[in-house]
Amino acid sequence: MSDTKRSVWWALAVGVLVAGFAAAQQIEVGMTLAYNNFVIGEPVLVQLEMLNATRDLIDIGGKDSKDRIMVEITKGGQYNDLKPFNSDPIAGAFQLKPGQSTQHKVELDKWFSLIQEGKYVVRLMVVHNGMRYESTKKSFDVVPGITVKEGVQMFVKNQELKRLFKLVYWHRNQADRLFLRIEDEPGERIWDSIDLGALMRMTPPKLDISPDGEITVVHRSTQDAFIRTVLWSLPNSVEVVERNSLLDPEISASQRVKSLYGEMADEKKKDEKKSWWKFW
């Protein structure tokens, strides 16, 4: 074999070895969406995944560290990225030793505005030693849902504030699911939509808005079971306080008929339990 051919084969061999070594010195980056579609206002949950296949320590969010995690989101095929409104690190601060892996669950809507209906594309990126490692792109849809019931809550000490409750359903994982969307007017504040569970549409769901701020939803989840969900709705907070199964929605749809659930208490105890309502 001539010297020229030997040089060519040697260069090829070295190139293969270098490529193999570089491939081994990688950071594997991935992400898994909880669902392919989300109702407007529903938390967009995603799991960020990393495997450190390098010989280095990866220091995300550490002092003087240049390692970082980024999420890129575009909408409707646009090339311009959505700008995050939250400057906090999306996965916090952590270190990853060689050979270690990690998973972080993140609600993307707490960093990006994802309340407009449409298709979004998301990608996770990790920067280490000047190199950028990217996950494959994932897409998801934000949908309004199909409305089945609506209601309005007014506030005694804030006449201008109006809270809209909307029961909508959407097909997910081969079943219809019921969601409660909550929006304020004016101000257009959108609260986290609540997944109320599986829905059988043969029986329309019930929505009861009590003057004292107690919101009750009753819906059929199976052929012989109903789910009752109770929320407290105050001007600056919305909280789910109770969920249970029941058999007779015609009676139990009204939160005020408490004696049928063994929840009857005298008015004094009731006022003590919810005394903070007096600050409305």
135: Cβ contacts below 8 Å, ≥ 6 apart: 29, 30, 31, 49, 123, 124, 125
d(CA 69, CA 123): 11
The pLDDT of residue 11 is above 80: no
| CA separation for the pair 109, 33 (Å, rounded) | 13
Report the distance separating Cα 244 and Cα 221, nearest Å: 12
Q: Is the pLDDT of residue 70 over 70?
A: yes
Write down the pTM of the prediction: 0.76
Q: Quick one: pLDDT at residue 274?
A: 44
Residue 51 in tokens:
């495997």
pLDDT on residue 188? 80
pLDDT digits (tens, 9 = 90+) for 242-277: 999 987 545 444 544 444 444 434 444 444 444 333
For the segment 167-212, what is each residue's pLDDT rounded down to a tens digit?
999 999 899 999 999 999 987 899 999 999 999 999 999 999 998 8
At 21-48, the pLDDT tens digits run: 344 458 999 999 999 999 999 999 999 9
Could you read off the pLDDT of 98-111 as tens digits, one per residue?
A: 999 999 999 999 99
- Identify the band that residue 3 occupies on the pLDDT scale cut at 50, 70 and 90: low
User: Among 86-90, 256-260, 276-280, where is mean pLDDT lowest?
Assistant: 276-280
Beta pairing, strands 175-185 & 158-172: antiparallel
What is the per-residue pLDDT for 268? 42
| pLDDT over 70, % of the chain | 79
| Best-predicted range by mean pLDDT (39-48, 60-69, 84-93) | 39-48
Question: What pLDDT score was predicted for residue 248?
Answer: 58
Calpha distance 127→198 (Å, rounded): 41
- Cβ burial of 66 (10 Å; 0-12, 13-18, 19+) is exposed
Model pLDDT for residues 109-127, shown as the tens digit of each residue: 999 999 999 999 999 999 9
